Amino acid sequence: MFKFPCKQTNTKIKSSGLLFFIFTVLVGAIAVNSGNNLVYLTFSVVLSFLILSGLLSYYNQRNIEVIINLPDMIFAGENTTISVQIVNKSLIPKFFLTLEVLNKKVYFEEINEKSSRTIEVAFKKRGKLKINAVKLTSTFPFNFFTRTRAIKIKKEVIVFPHKKKVFLKVRYRNNKTNKELNKIFKKEHEDFYSIRQYKRGDNSKLINWKASAKLGKIMITEYASTESNGILIMLDNSKYLYDKEKYFEDAVTRVNSLVYDCYRTGTEVSLISEITLPFAKSTVHFKSIFSFLSTVKLKDRLPIKKIDSAILPEDIEYA
């Protein structure tokens, strides 16, 4: 196939289009050699038909907007349903369009104002993924050309780590099930950790009014362990604790799996790592933990001092 690339567009002549092009050239050669007006007329019609095919193919992909809707939570390794919508901004309907998103193709037979489809996607790794463009392909109208156009979009996908079925080792389980995790740890304020700006979902009891008045914004005091009916989890991302990066990825998966169990059962959780997320059980709080775990990396720094009451990755077993 021949390709005719241009800005954000790639056009290929299909076998049927190539045959029709050769036929057009032959008709033109016969018209020149014979001088017959009827052959000239035939050549004009055939050539116009070929040009019309290219123009219709071009305008069939103009004035189109693509909207991608993602679920609030996406976990690595799980099938995720994504909604894809094509919006036709012109008065002329669009036909026979194929949209490629994240290596998945969806077909639209006819689009008047807007049309939606869903695709199933499984992301292999945790992290942030930017979708900068999608591909729009069509062979409309006569299957002579395959025209592919890149449509720019700005979409960021945050893929949370894998989640698996887990349980705590004997020293933490104490004949309790995961549904009773909220009864395991009941600690009062212990060691001072830091002062940071208030975030939505933080415990208002931890507001440091003196620091807030001095800085002109609401600040809260963080402790290594705070009064809560929840559980305290530590994930140290010091590279000196892991021989290989895959061991750290496994630790992230274990912690994320336990946090998800707490989210599912409504158990308060506090996470200590390079940052501290205090005890809470709101959806916003859990999304903050999942988002942190989706991007946390090994750092060249000394390990964090362990807290006896905290659950470590090695305390979490796969079921």
Q: For residue 249, what pLDDT band results from cuts at 50, 70 and 90?
A: very high
β-partners of residue 82 are 119
CA gap 191, 116 in Å, rounded? 54
Nearest Cα neighbor of 255 from 179, 177, 316 is: 316
Nearest Cα neighbor of 237 from 158, 126, 312, 307 is: 312
User: Where are the domains positioned within the chain?
Assistant: 1-159, 166-318
pLDDT for res 128: 94
Whether the model pTM is above 0.85: no
pLDDT for res 26: 92
Q: How confident is the model over 285-311, as a mean pLDDT?
A: 92
Record: fold of 1-159:
Immunoglobulin-like (2.60.40)
CA gap 27, 20 in Å, rounded? 10
CA gap 80, 102 in Å, rounded? 12
Output the DSSP codes for 16-67: HHHHHHHHHHHHHHHHHHH--HHHHHHHHHHHHHHHHHHHHHHHTTSSEEEE
pLDDT for res 204: 72
Q: How confident is the model over 276-281, as a mean pLDDT?
A: 90
pLDDT for res 151: 92
160-212: per-residue pLDDT in tens?
Answer: 999 999 988 754 444 443 444 434 333 333 455 567 777 765 667 778 888 88
